[in-house]
Amino acid sequence: MRLTQPRRLAAAAATAAAVLLLSTACSTGSLSGGGSGGGSTGGTSDGKVTVGTVGTESDIQDISKFCGTKPITVALADGFGGNSWRKITRAIFEDEAAKCKNIKKILYTDAQGDTQKAISDINSLVAQGVNVIVTFVDGGEALLPTIKKATAAGVKVVPFVGSPGGTPGTDYVDFVSEDIKTYGKNLADWTIAKMGGKGNLVMLGGIAGNSYSQAVYDGVMESVKANPGIKLLNEDGPVSTDWEPGKTQQVVAGLITKYGTINGIVADYGGGSVGGIRAFEAAGKPFPVWSANDSNEFACLWYQYKDKQPTYQIATESSRNWVVKVALHKGLAAYNGLANDEPSTYNLQIIEDSTDASKMPKCEKDLPADAILSSGLTVDQLKKLFQ
């Protein structure tokens, strides 16, 4: 577990390694505290945090409305911190928290894809007296009892993107994400249309068993069921890639060997998809239609290969790292007893489409391959983060 003092992102990117300290002097909290109140909207925050509404990125408000005045310790409990998406999301969280002068400590934990470590991390944060925990729950419902205990101890917990199940507003403050199932369906609809409604399709996920990839897969399945000419090759669930380009390349190479022809791919991580594209290149196979969330290299590779690979088209939706800001806002509002009516669920649309002249993929050659242009960070912030 590591600790940072609140700071602006520009300084954080250059000095993160130096300022992270082992936390040893935090106050303790008990997991045996009183239970939270019930209710369908904001039970953990006296009903002042609206739960379950739907909106768009433009509905996000300024954090100054939710900072309050009393000293606060916040934490980002990451279920898996091992890729660029998580690195960018952490940077956004720390930059946003630094805008509240009364946030005295920012903690970060990385469970490294280990559900038992994720449970231990949250328990440890509670014991250290953390007031607000924002968490990407890769372990799904296995984390729910731990989250409920943290809530009962008075900690304001806000899961984002990866759901623990349970009841938002009762078991925790709220769950913040895009409409995950619709995300999968939208990308699958686009992919299948560009495939001409027929052929072999694959859905690439992340860590085995994670709740997010399963929800994307469920959306893909809706589209597949409506298109009888499509054969989904992975009928048992999302293909595990660990959200890592090297592992994705290995996995996709195996799929090419096993099935021979793959006409379309829907992925829940564009940054990992670049490894899959390299697998097709190495195999000398035609590149498929490919959809994912946005990543700089994913877009740049399309420009590199588009003239040689006529079947290769891409589309993306936002990688929506910015939802972590909303999760922090809701946690702060709940802790401070302040109203928050920001949406819980965010509708995403296709923002890049290589077949649409008005939505052409965005390749920034001056930025690192791992940069995410829709993340909410500026070009300069992304450069500093990856330098």
Report yes or no on 41 lying in a domain.
Answer: yes
Three-state secondary-structure class, residue 9: helix
Distance of CA 310 to the CA centre of its chain: 31
Q: What is the DSSP string of 103-161?
A: EEEEEEEE-TT-HHHHHHHHHHHHHTT-SEEEEE-TTGGGGHHHHHHHHHTT-EEEEBS
Is 32 a residue whose pLDDT tops 90? no
For a pLDDT cut of 90, what percent of the chain falls above it? 83
This prediction has a pTM of 0.78
**Residue 286 counted as domain residue:** yes
138 assigned to some structural domain: yes
292 and 143 co-located in one domain: no
User: Does the structure show a pLDDT above 90 at 37?
Assistant: no
Assess contact for 9 and 94: CB atoms under 8 A. yes
Angle between helices 211-225 and 180-194 (to 10 degrees): 40
Supply the pLDDT for residue 199.
99
- Say whether pLDDT at 6 is over 80: no
Cα separation, 144 vs 146, in Å, equals: 5
- pLDDT confidence bin for 47, thresholds 50/70/90: low
User: What pLDDT, on the 0 to 100 scale, is given for residue 46?
Assistant: 55
Confidence at 24, pLDDT banded by 50, 70, 90: very low
49 pLDDT higher than 60: yes
- Tell me: do 10 and 137 sit in the same domain: yes
In angstroms, the CA 79 to CA 180 distance is: 18
Does residue 219 belong to any structural domain of this protein? yes
**156 belongs to a structural domain:** yes
Specify whether the CB–CB gap between 323 and 183 falls below 8 A. no
The pLDDT of 153-182, averaged and rounded, is 96
The average confidence (pLDDT) of the chain is 89
- Angle subtended by helix axes 115-127 and 144-152, to nearest 10: 10
User: pLDDT by residue (tens digit) across 206-248?
Assistant: 999 998 999 999 999 999 999 999 999 999 999 999 999 999 9
Residue 342, domain member (yes or no) = yes
330 phi/psi in degrees, rounded to 5 = -65, -40
pLDDT band at 30 (very low <50, low <70, confident <90, very high): very low
Q: Are residues 232 and 291 in the same domain?
A: yes
Q: Give residue 211's pLDDT.
A: 87
In this predicted model, what pLDDT tens digit does every residue of 113-145 receive, in sequence order?
999 999 999 999 999 999 999 999 999 999 999
Does residue 34 form part of some domain? yes
Co-location of 296 and 335 in the same domain: no
Helix, strand, coil: what percent of the chain each, to 5? 40, 15, 45
What is the enclosing helix (H) or strand (E) of 3? strand 2-4
Which residue type occupies 347?
A: N
Domain count, the chain: 2
Judgement on whether residues 22 and 149 belong to the same structural domain of the protein: yes
Is the same domain home to 163 and 207? no
219-233, 262-276, 365-379: which has the minimum mean pLDDT? Answer: 365-379
Beta carbons within 8 Å of 55's beta carbon, 6+ residues apart: 342, 343, 345, 346, 347
Q: What was the pLDDT predicted at 304?
A: 97
- What digits encode the pLDDT tens for the residues 291-338? 999 999 999 999 999 999 999 999 999 999 999 999 999 999 999 999
**Are 34 and 95 found together in one domain?**
yes
pLDDT of residue 79: 95
In this structure, are 138 and 252 located in the same domain? no
Mean pLDDT, residues 78-92: 94
The verdict on residue 131 lying in a domain is: yes
Please report, for the domain that includes residue 213, its CATH number. 3.40.50.2300
Q: How far is CA 287 from the centre of its chain?
A: 27
- Which residues have CB under 8 Å from 238's CB, separation 6+? 203, 204, 205, 206, 213, 214, 216, 217, 268
Domain that holds residue 303: 180-319
Q: Identify the pLDDT of residue 370.
A: 86
